[in-house]
Amino acid sequence: MCETCIAAFAQPLHRCALCALHIPVGMTRCGECLLRPPPWQLSLTAVSYQWPWEDLIAQFKYQAQPGWSGALASLMHSAPGVDDALAQSHCVIPMPLSLERLSQRGFNQSLLLAKHLAPHHTHHDVLLRIRDTPAQRGLARHERLDNLKGAFVVDPLKTAILRNQHVVLVDDVMTTGASLQMAAKALQVAGVAHLTTLVFARTENAEYGGS
């Protein structure tokens, strides 16, 4: 990943503090988040989900190239607010995959990113995905939410790790927010005091949220 491409395609943008959409300078939140704020306190991203990043993410996730995780995490580290959020967090949690999806892919891309971002306080076994669901692509946000009901839980033996803590929830791409929202609700039930979502890339659509 050369410096020329980073300079050309990874410049920081002014974004909504709650959903990471690109918004005009002077605003802190987009209209959707003012009306219906998501169940977290801060949302951060490194880049917009467009060329060349969408191609790199496809290689990373779907073409068995986990070696991209270090370079992608490095760009996440350099995004505004990320280092502060990680320094203030007590626990960094990757979005979990179902056992079926993990078996197919061979690795959890969010876990690889989280380990590069916070190698000493990443917890991969706290938030669990207990139900496999059909692919989310092509579904509207309300359909994605229905698809994901009951999919995420916190291990009841590990809620003490989360109670009254600052947590960063890591994923690779933020699309409509359905997956992140359902995972965030499970973390809220476990007593998380402050939740930041952190993704590598954010799609530029009109609805808040992750994959």
Q: Nearest 5°: phi and psi at 60? A: -60, -50
CATH number at residue 103: 3.40.50
Q: pLDDT tens digit string along 110-137?
A: 999 999 999 999 999 999 998 766 565 5
108 falls within a domain: yes
Residue 1 pLDDT: 82
Residue 163 domain flag: yes
Any domain includes 209: no
Six token digits for residue 144? 């994605």
Mean pLDDT of 101-114: 95
pLDDT over 80 at 73, yes or no: yes
Residue 211 CA, distance from chain mean position: 8
Confirm whether 8 is domain-assigned: no
Domain of 57, in residue numbers: 18-202
Q: Would you say residue 83 lies in a domain?
A: yes
Domain membership flag for residue 81: yes
| Maximal C-alpha separation, the chain | 47
Q: Which two tokens stand for residue 62?
A: 């779907």
pLDDT at 140: 58
Structurally, the chain folds into a number of domains equal to 1
User: pLDDT value at position 130?
Assistant: 87
Q: What CA–CA distance (Å, rounded) separates 200 from 202?
A: 7
In a domain, 1, yes or no: no
Whether residue 9 is contained in a domain is answered as no
pLDDT in the model for residue 209: 38
